Structure 1
Amino acid sequence: MKIKQLLALGVVALTVFSLNAAQATNDEIKNRIKPVGNVHIAGAVAATAAAAGPKSGKDIYNSACAACHAAGVLGAPKTQDAADWKPRLDEKGFDTVWQNAVKGINAMPPMGTCGTCTEDDIKSAIEYMVEGVE
């Protein structure tokens, strides 16, 4: 009698485990094959993304400039360091420094490392980097 009870208990446990595992597998499959995008038909009006708004010079600096300018990598002038910035600004002026950043200079590629920045974004980032330099 005890063997029959153990066998019945084993069958019930195995059935419950199998159903649970099958459900988890089905959920995983549904998750893996769910659509990753939307289909847009030519000629139909597409939804537009809301503009994120302008970024501050500090935001641009943190996302694209800090990697080099925080530590002065490859001679990059360090952020808000008068010893690095003042001679450049006195000799060349802000507009030349800005255009050098836009066009690239020495080890700095054009537009720095910001592939989505406008020239005005670069200007804002430089204005942030020279804050307090007199």
Structure 2
Amino acid sequence: MKLKALLSVFVGSLVMFAVQAQDMSNEDISKRIKPVGSVHIAGAQAESAAAAGPRSGEDIYNVSCAACHSVGVLGAPKFQVAADWNPRIEEKGFDTVWQNAIDGIGGMPPKGTCGSCSDDDIKAAIEHMIEGI
């Protein structure tokens, strides 16, 4: 008997819900099912930041590259350390180093942690890291 009563309540709830849904406008339904929050991924930049205009190599380095390149994580060439950068540039050439940064190399994922960076942004960041060496 309890099962019949429970089933009756369940079916009644479904019918009531269906009737309510028919009375709702599309706008009401959109409001009802809209997300209650958003997700921020550390290291990722908001679209509005990317739309704010061109970024300098220094800005890109500070936001997306410094965490690894300031201390040489997993063998990353350190910021403005000629001994780290010169062998790479002399042996492979700047364009290969740049392409490796775009595609990813060793422990570095493609474009490092700057998913919103263009290829030219990556080039500017590398140029900043080797400036003066």
- For Structure 1 versus Structure 2, the TM-score category normalised by the shorter chain is 0.5 to 0.7
| CA distance in 2: counterparts of 1:91 and 1:131, whole angstroms | 18
Identity, % of aligned pairs? 73
Q: 1:52: Cα distance to partner?
A: 1.2
Counterpart residue identity of residue 52, structure 1:
A
Q: Given the two structures, how large is their TM-score scaled by the length of structure 1?
A: 0.61
Bigger CA radius of gyration: 1
- CA RMSD, aligned part only? 2.1
| CA distance in 1: counterparts of 2:87 and 2:76, whole angstroms | 13
Q: Given the two structures, how large is their TM-score scaled by the length of structure 2?
A: 0.62
1:77 alignment partner in structure 2: 77
| CA distance in 2: counterparts of 1:105 and 1:76, whole angstroms | 10
| CA distance in 2: counterparts of 1:75 and 1:132, whole angstroms | 21
| CA distance in 2: counterparts of 1:94 and 1:132, whole angstroms | 15
| CA distance in 2: counterparts of 1:75 and 1:93, whole angstroms | 18
| CA distance in 2: counterparts of 1:89 and 1:127, whole angstroms | 11
Moved over 4 A (4+): none
Provide the aligned length of Structure 1 versus Structure 2.
87
Structure 1: gaps spanning 5 or more residues: 1-35, 37-48
Structure 2: gaps spanning 5 or more residues: 1-35, 37-48
* Range with greater deviation from structure 2 (51-60 or 68-77): 51-60
| 1:113 paired to 2:96 | no
